[in-house]
Amino acid sequence: MSDYLQQYDTQLWALYRQTLFEISPEFYIPSSGAVITACNPEGHILSQGANQQRMAELKQQLRERDLTYQSLVGMSPDQQHQEPSLLIECNRDQALKLCQQYRQNAYFWLSKGQLWLVPALHPGPKVAMGSLRQRLVTSQLE
C-alpha cells in the first residue's frame, strides 16, 4: 500500500471512530447486530441518487433474507457528514459479507450494548468504541 493510501486509510479510520448515530424515538437496541451502510463505497463520495439506490438494494436484500433491520444515520460529531445506515440483526459473518459486497471499509458491531469498529476490506484489528448508548442522538427520521 502506498504511503498516501496508508495515510488516507488512517485518517478515514480516525473519522469512523468519532461516529455518532442519529436514531428515531422508536429505535431499540438488540443484543447484537451490525451497523452497515451501502453509501460511499471504499470512502469515495457518490451522488445522493447513487447512494439512495445502493441503500434500496441493501434493504431489498435484507428483506429477501428475512433479516430484521432499523434505520439510523451515521454522522460526524459536527453533523457535516451523514450517511444513512442500518442496524441489522445478523451474525458477524453475514455483516462481513454484506460489507464486502457493498465495498465498505468497515462496519460497527454491537454486542451486549458495546460497540466495536471492525475492518471489512483490509486486515486490521477491531477497535472497542464503548457503549452504543453514548453515541446515540435521538431525532425524527423520515
Split at pLDDT 50, 70, 90, the class of 140 is low
How far is it, in rounded angstroms, from Cα 77 to Cα 19? 7
Split at pLDDT 50, 70, 90, the class of 5 is very low
Tell me how many domains the chain contains.
Answer: 1
Altogether, the residues listed in the chain come to a count of 142
105 with 77: CB under 8 angstroms? no
- pTM given for the model: 0.92
Query: pLDDT tens-digit profile of 90-119?
Result: 999 999 999 999 999 999 999 999 999 999
Query: pLDDT tens-digit profile of 41-91?
Result: 998 999 999 999 999 999 999 999 999 999 999 999 999 999 999 999 999
Q: Which cell numbers in the block locate residue 23?
A: 436514531
Boundaries of domain holding 126 = 3-138
Split at pLDDT 50, 70, 90, the class of 11 is confident
